[in-house]
Structure 1
Amino acid sequence: MQSQTVRIVSQTIRFIEEHLEQKIDLNTAAAALHYSKFHLHRIFTKTVGMTIHDYVQRRQLTEAARLLVDSDQPILAIALASGYESQQAFTDIFKAMYKTTPAQFREAKAYYPLQLEIRLKGEPAGIHFTKKDIRFARLSDADDWMELVRLTIDGYPCLDETEYAHNLRRYIAEKRALILRDEGMAVGVMGFSVDSGRIDFLAIHPQYRNLGVTGLFLDKLASELPEGTELSLTTYRAGDKADTGYREEFCRLGFTEKELLLEYGYPVQRLVLSGEHTIQPQGR
């Protein structure tokens, strides 16, 4: 059964989805749903992992990106339909998030979402996980794994879902895919490379990110690799407006900065975690 918090946040998300062509902010949502804006801000941010402002912005820009590729609508019309008062304001934020102008994005015809609609479940049942609860994924987990990928798309710019789903089967077959399940759904997944200790994909359900699950996955991976193996991953560069908190979390867990890279044309940075580093437990 959904808790009151999940019910309220789900109502807010539904309201936002039904009004994406309008200018929406915290005050608008709170007034429409008859909730205190301070209470709504607090529970929305804690549950979803981002503010209402950030969620609305990312959803509107995602739909704008889709229209740029799939329609012939003028950019100004798309800007106005996305809640922006001018084409210049739309272009500025679009470039900050997508690293290209709307016109260039349309020309490239390579759509990818910043944010898909978040669909919440009931309150987490397993709030006291250990790394023993994490196991190697099976092919029967693939559909739930992909559902979590869509839910956490904000952490992985330029993700090609078709290519990813194809590679997932290889990772599962090669025992390079770890999964944590709770109440019949995937709440955490990790794909990794054995030889290098590289984390190729790590996704945690928004409702579970504050339960220390990321640290558990790092501990689990470390136990599957030779002792002292350095773990590495790539994430957003410092100051990237598209980052919803991933870089901060990894740095808090002890990762340190390494070289700047481009992945699929997107600017990222490699972070590393020493094999001797101990993950600090997190949780409520």
Structure 2
Amino acid sequence: MGSAESRRLKNAQAAVDFIEKHLDGSLSLDRTAAAVHYSKYHLHRIFADTTGMTIHDYTLRRQLTEGARRLVRTDQPVLEIALSCGYGSQQAFTSAFREMYKLPPAQYRARRKFYPLQLPFSLGEDGTSEELSPENIRPAVEEDIPVWLELVRQSVDGYPCLDEADYLRWLKSAISGKRALILKAGDTAAGVLGFGFSGGRGTIEYLGIHPRYRKQKAAELLVRELSGKYLPGREISMTTYRSCDRADTGWRAILKKLGFEERELLTEFGYPTQHFVLRPGPGGE
């Protein structure tokens, strides 16, 4: 099994590497599949199974991320940025950008605050990762910060408006306060969770799952550990994307599968989100 999984990882990573080298051009499943010498149907299945994301969505998110970076960090005209990101017109780029970033390019540029929709996947080639187990969940320590941050970069699709410098300050505080849990798979962080509590309620402040482990119940293991051991009998809340947000890569579905219930709509850091709650008892520990 390890050998077969290693081949899957290697093929998916080859597709990622090709996409990363050609973000400034027109990318398609056909072109990517031809470059890595696979049928488009086989590559589509491998990529989606390995990363939880289609090649189309990954490419779209990476090109728009690079477009956002150039909007903030250069003075290039929007049309020039659009063409450099593989779009045939400024109108097509503006439409896609607004749908994912919730602002037209000109307004986003005026804010001068860049955040990524998607950073490059780094999947590795070792397909022999151990089975995830609750016994491998523990409070994070400062030595875990590098692998934790690497996981944050791999799962940034779940957190719009993430600022890594601000996040690092929060992470150090969470580790110091024993409010940061890490689930390891070998030397890799398969999942991480940061939490807080006040007034009898708990809050998941951050939940990140490595793309390779999103189908292995990493989120379920972490949330169960939190609700059963650290916040027993408490209501637990979390926020994520609103319904029908094209930027959502499946985080709403993850929360609903874990038993979280929808609550009020919110706006956080200027981004439209929704509050979710996991009640103690049935559906929660």
Question: Aligning the two structures, in what range does the TM-score lie when normalised by the shorter sequence?
Answer: over 0.9
- The corresponding residue for 1:269 is 274
Whole-Å separation in 2 of the counterparts to 1:124 and 1:204:
18
Q: Is the 8 A contact 1:124 1:208 kept in 2?
A: no
- The corresponding residue for 2:16 is 13
Residue ranges of structure 1 left out of the alignment (5+ in a row): none
- The corresponding residue for 1:76 is 79
Deviates more, 1:151-160 or 1:116-125: 116-125
Task: Give the secondary-structure state (helix, strand or coil) at the position aligned to 2:184.
Answer: strand
- The corresponding residue for 1:235 is 240
TM-score computed with the length of structure 1 as normaliser: 0.95
- The corresponding residue for 2:209 is 204
Residue ranges of structure 2 left out of the alignment (5+ in a row): none
Whether 2:217 is the aligned partner of 1:217: answer: no
- The corresponding residue for 2:162 is 159
Amino acid at match of 1:275: P
Q: CA deviation at 1:279?
A: 5.8
Give aligned pairs, total: 279
TM-score computed with the length of structure 2 as normaliser: 0.95
Which residue of the other structure, out of 123, 126, 132, is the alignment partner of 2:130? 126
Whether 2:93 is the aligned partner of 1:90: answer: yes
Q: Is the 8 A contact 1:124 1:207 kept in 2?
A: no
CA-based RMSD: 1.4
Q: Is the 8 A contact 1:49 1:206 kept in 2?
A: yes
Amino acid at match of 2:158: G
Amino acid at match of 1:31: A
- The corresponding residue for 1:146 is 149
Amino acid at match of 1:144: V
Q: CA deviation at 1:143?
A: 1.1
Whole-Å separation in 2 of the counterparts to 1:218 and 1:152:
17
Deviates more, 1:220-229 or 1:9-18: 220-229
Task: Give the secondary-structure state (helix, strand or coil) at the position aligned to 1:193.
Answer: strand
Identity %: 48
Task: Give the secondary-structure state (helix, strand or coil) at the position aligned to 2:23.
Answer: coil
Which residue of the other structure, out of 170, 183, 188, is the alignment partner of 1:185? 188
Q: CA deviation at 1:274?
A: 1.1
The Cα offsets for residues 195-222 of structure 1, whole Å up to 9 and x where unpaired, read as: 3210000001110110111111111001
Whether 2:41 is the aligned partner of 1:46: answer: no
The Cα offsets for residues 213-264 of structure 1, whole Å up to 9 and x where unpaired, read as: 1111111001234532111100000000000111111112211100111111
- The corresponding residue for 2:256 is 251
* Runs of 4+ deviating beyond 6 Å: none
Q: Is the 8 A contact 2:278 2:284 kept in 1?
A: no
The Cα offsets for residues 89-145 of structure 1, whole Å up to 9 and x where unpaired, read as: 110110010010000011110100100101112225222x33222000001101111
Whole-Å separation in 2 of the counterparts to 1:144 and 1:158:
21
Q: CA deviation at 1:278?
A: 3.4
Q: Is the 8 A contact 1:30 1:36 kept in 2?
A: yes
Q: Is the 8 A contact 1:191 1:199 kept in 2?
A: yes
Whole-Å separation in 1 of the counterparts to 2:7 and 2:272:
40
The Cα offsets for residues 259-278 of structure 1, whole Å up to 9 and x where unpaired, read as: 11111111100111111133
Query: CA distance change for structure 1 residues 219 and 79 in 2, over 3 Å: closer, same or farther?
Result: same
Amino acid at match of 2:35: A
